[in-house]
Amino acid sequence: MSEIQVWTLVFAGLSFALYIYIAYASRVKDTAGFYVAGGGIPAPANGAAIAADWMSAASFISMAGIIALSTNGYDGSVYLMGWTGGYVLLALLLAPYLRKFGKYTIPDFVGDRYSETARMVAVVCTVVISFVYVAGQMSGTGLVFARFLNVNATTGVIIGMVIVFFYAVLGGMKGITWTQVAQYSVLIVAYLIPAVAISTELTSIPVPQIGFGQILAELDGLQRDLGFAEYTAAFTNMNMLNVTLMTATLMFGTAGLPHVIVRFYTAKNVRAARFSALWALFFIALLYTTAPSIAAFSKLNILQDVSGAAVDNLPGWAQTWADVDLITVDDLNGDGVIDYGADAANELVINNDILVLAAPEIAGLPAPIIGLVAAGALAAALSTASGLLLVISSSIANDVYYKRINPQATEARQLMVGRIAMAAAIVVAGYLGINPPGFVAQVVALAFGIACASFFPVLVLGIFWKKCTAMGATAGMLTGLVVTLAYMLWTIDIYGNSEGIFGIAETSFGVVGMALNFLVTIVVSQFTPKPSPVMQELVEEIRYPGRTKLIEAHAKGELPPDVH
C-alpha cells in the first residue's frame, strides 16, 4: 500500500467514524426529527449544513475541472454565477415564505397549496430530480475510492452506500444535519489547504483568489503557443446563447432544488431561515471563489508538465491516473512524444473529474495533503447524497404513504416506512452511481434543469399569486418536466446526440422548460376554478409578517377540508 493510500485511509476512516458517531448521538424517534430535525437547528449550523448539502461532488470534484479543461476558463463562470446566484433568488423569493408555511417537503407545500393530484406530480418531480442528482454523487464517490484505495469504481460506490445507509437511516434529518456540519468542516479544509500551498508555490501569494491572477498572462501565452484560444477569452467553448441560458437554468434550478429547500424547514423560525441562507452564502463563497484558482494553477502545471513529454516517461501523477483509466495517453503518430495542442492528434485525454483530486500530486505536495483532499471529496459527495436520499424518503413516506395511503399511520409506522424508503433509494442511487449518464458536473447540471423547469414556477406563483389554481400548477409541472426530460434524452451524447434546437445544450434547456411551465400554469389558471377564499387569504398571510391566524390554524391542521 502506497503512502498516499495510507493517508487516505487514515483521513477517510477518521471522518467516517465521526459521521457515524454523530448520527448515532443524533438518532431520532419521531417524524419531525427524521424529516426536519425538529425545526431546531441554529442559523450558523444550518448554514454550514446547507453549504455541505449544496457543495456536492460536482462542486468539489468536477467544477474546477470543467473550468480548466472543458470550458477553457471564462465560460466556466456559468457554474459560479448560476449556482451562487440561485441562492439570492432562494433567500429572497422562496425560503422564508416556505418556512412560514411549515411543511416538510416541496410536495407537502404543493399538496396543501394546490391539490392532492398536484402533490403526486410533485412527488414524481422530486424523485426524478433527486435520483439524477444523486447519480453524480455516488459516481464521484466511486471515482475517489478507485484512485486512492486501489479498488474498482463499483466497489467504491458500494462502500459509499454502506456509509450513507448508517448515518442517514439512523439519524434522519437531525443526524444528517449535524453530520453535514462536520462534513463541511472536512471538505473546506481539504479544499483550501492545497489551494493555499499551490498558490504560494507558484506566485508567492498565499491567497489563491489573488494569486491566480498573477499567472493568467502566462497561461494565456501557453494556450496561444499550443494553438488554443486564450484561457481568459470569452465564448470559446460555449456560445453566448448557451452561456446565458445555462446561467439562468442553474440559478432558477438552485431555487427549486427539493433537497436545498427542505433545509429551511430545519431552521427555528422564519428569521433563522433568512440568516441560514446568509451563512450558507458565506460558507459556499469560500469554496466557489477558490475553484477558479485551482483550475488555473492546475491547467498551467499540466501544460508545462505534459506537453512534449515522452510517452514512456510521463510525470508520476499522470501515470498514476492513467493506471485507473482516468487519463488516456495514446501515441497516435508514433513519435514517442505527447502532442498536446489545437492542431495535434488527441493523444492526451484528461477526465474532468480528476483535476481537484490530482491537483496536490500535480503540484508535488506531500501525501498527507493528498489524503486529506480525498477525504474532503468523499465528504462533499456523501453529504449531498444523504440530503437527496432523505428527500426521496420523505416524499415517499410522508407525501405518498401517510398523506394518501394510510393517514392513520402511527409515528413509529411512518418512521419505519421512511427508513425502508431510504434503504431502497440508496440501492437505486448506487446503481445510478455505477452507471452514470455523464461526468459528475454534467449529471448534476441536468438535475438543475429539471428542478428549474418543474418546481420554480409553481413555488413562486404559489406564494405570490393567490389565484394560481391546482389544475394550472399540475399542468405546468407536467409540461416543464416532460418537455425538459424529452429534450435532454434527445440531445445528451449517450442517448440522442442531437445538436438540439438552435444548438441549445441539454444542460441549458431548463430555463426554456421553465418558461413553458409559467405559460401553461398562467393560461390554465385563467380557465379553471380558483382556490377557495380561505386558501387565498392563507397565501396572503404567508407574505406578511405578523398576520398568522390562518397560518397557526394550518400548522395545527384546523383548516376546513375544502380549503382548496
Residue type, position 312, single letter: D
What element of type H or E holds 328? strand 327-329
pLDDT at 263 (0 to 100): 72
pLDDT at 170 (0 to 100): 63
Instruction: Name which of 265, 287, 285 is nearest 276 in CA terms.
Output: 265
Task: Write out pLDDT tens, residues 502-513.
Answer: 888 888 899 999
CA dihedral 209, 211, 215, 217 (to 10 degrees): 70
Task: Count other Cβ atoms within 10 Å, centred on residue 434.
Answer: 18
Calculate Rg over the CA atoms of the chain: 24
Least confident of 31-35, 86-90, 416-420: 31-35
CA dihedral 90, 95, 97, 101 (to 10 degrees): 140
pLDDT at 36 (0 to 100): 54
* Higher-scoring residue by pLDDT: 89, 524: 524
pLDDT at 537 (0 to 100): 86
Residue type, position 296, single letter: A
Contact 118, 110 (CB under 8 A): yes
pLDDT at 302 (0 to 100): 82
Least confident of 24-28, 107-111, 134-138, 420-424: 24-28
- Percentage of the chain beyond pLDDT 90 is 13
Q: Is 563 helix (H, G, I), strand (E, B) or coil?
A: coil
Confidence of residue 526 (pLDDT cuts 50, 70, 90): very high
Asked whether residue 58 carries a pLDDT value surpassing 50, the answer given is yes
pLDDT at 248 (0 to 100): 92
CATH class of 3-299+364-441: mainly alpha
Confidence of residue 425 (pLDDT cuts 50, 70, 90): confident
pLDDT at 424 (0 to 100): 85
What element of type H or E holds 73? none
Asked whether residue 345 carries a pLDDT value surpassing 70, the answer given is no
Confidence of residue 496 (pLDDT cuts 50, 70, 90): very low
Q: What gap in Å lies between CA 72 and CA 516, rounded to an integer? A: 32
Most confident of 151-165, 205-219, 306-320, 402-416: 205-219
Instruction: Name which of 273, 343, 266, 374 is nearest 37 in CA terms.
Output: 266
pLDDT at 437 (0 to 100): 58
Task: Write out pLDDT tens, residues 19-47.
Answer: 778 877 776 665 655 555 555 677 888 88
Encode burial over 145-177: b for 16+ CB neighbours within 10 A, e otherwise: bbbbbeeebeebbbbbbebbbebbbbbbbbbbb
pLDDT at 207 (0 to 100): 92
Task: Write out pLDDT tens, residues 127-140.
Answer: 888 887 777 778 77
Instruction: Name which of 247, 169, 152, 120 is nearest 507 in CA terms.
Output: 247
Asked whether residue 97 carries a pLDDT value surpassing 50, the answer given is yes
Q: What gap in Å lies between CA 150 and CA 487, rounded to an integer? A: 38
Asked whether residue 274 carries a pLDDT value surpassing 80, the answer given is no
Q: What gap in Å lies between CA 192 and CA 207, rounded to an integer? A: 10
pLDDT at 86 (0 to 100): 84
Query: Averaged over 49-54, what is the pLDDT?
Result: 79
Instruction: Tell me the average pLDDT of the chain.
Output: 81
Instruction: Name which of 305, 301, 279, 243 is nearest 91 in CA terms.
Output: 279
Q: What gap in Å lies between CA 204 and CA 1, rounded to an integer? A: 34
Q: Which three cell numbers stand for residue 136?
A: 453524480
The residue length of the chain stands at 564
Q: How many CA atoms lie within 13 A of 545 on its CB side?
A: 4
- Percentage of the chain beyond pLDDT 70 is 86
pLDDT at 563 (0 to 100): 59
Find cell 391566524 and name the residue: 549
Query: Averaged over 207-234, what is the pLDDT?
Result: 86
Least confident of 37-41, 180-184, 337-341, 473-477: 37-41
Q: What gap in Å lies between CA 415 and CA 28, rounded to an integer? A: 9
Task: Write out pLDDT tens, residues 157-176.
Answer: 888 788 777 766 665 666 67
Confidence of residue 495 (pLDDT cuts 50, 70, 90): very low
Task: Count other Cβ atoms within 10 Å, centred on residue 366.
Answer: 12
Expressed in percent and rounded to 5, the helix, strand and coil fractions of the chain are 75, 0, 25
pLDDT at 206 (0 to 100): 92
DSSP single-letter state for residue 348? E
Helix/strand/coil (H/E/C) assignment for every residue in 153-164: HHHHHHHHHHHH
Phi, psi (degrees; rounded to nearest 5) at 337:
-125, 145
pLDDT at 317 (0 to 100): 80
Instruction: Name which of 175, 94, 149 is nearest 383 in CA terms.
Output: 175
The predicted model scores a pTM of: 0.81
Most confident of 11-25, 225-239, 241-255, 435-449: 241-255
